[in-house]
Amino acid sequence: MQFDGLVAFYHTKDLDETHRFYHEILGLPLYKDQGACRIYTVQPDALIGFCNHFPEAAPEGIIITLLTDAVDDMYARVRDQEGIEIIEPPARNDRFNIYHFFLRDPNGYKVEIQTFLD
């Protein structure tokens, strides 16, 4: 199995100021504006996102997102593995038009396996 990309999300208080820095100053292309989140292309398969709805300086504010069209296949692969904590099973998220599930890595970070539906 191969993943198709990576999106690393971080909390921001100000999406517009963050956009100015990453898009206008650093020149990263805007990949997707989801309203509460903006995602930028670092490389074709490596993206970085900033959101204003995450809690500030809380572990839940760090999410490592792995992109794949095979969300259900990956869920089937990890759900019965010993020591893997599934946080939420696969579900559609209409707010951001995605299909995803969450699990926790050994460090306690939330990991999201996701596909964009549009």
**Every domain of the chain and the residues it spans:** 5-116
- CA 95 centroid distance within chain: 14
Q: Identify the burial level of 22 via C-beta atoms within 10 angstroms of its C-beta, where 0-12 means exposed, 13-18 middle and 19 or more buried.
A: buried
Mean pLDDT of 38-50: 93
pLDDT, residue 102, reads 96
In angstroms, the CA 114 to CA 101 distance is 7
What is the bridge-based pairing of β-strands 110-116 and 63-67? parallel
pLDDT, residue 69, reads 95
- For tokens 């996102």, the residue is 49
C-beta of residue 72 within 8 angstroms of C-beta of residue 78? no
- pLDDT band at 60; cut points 50, 70, 90: low
pLDDT, residue 99, reads 98
CATH number of the domain located at residue range(s) 5-116 in this protein: 3.10.180.10
Which 3 state secondary structure label does DSSP give 61? helix
H/E run at residue 46: strand 46-51
- pLDDT one-digit tens code per residue, 69-117: 999 999 998 998 888 899 999 999 999 999 999 999 877 788 899 999 9
pLDDT, residue 59, reads 57
pLDDT, residue 105, reads 87
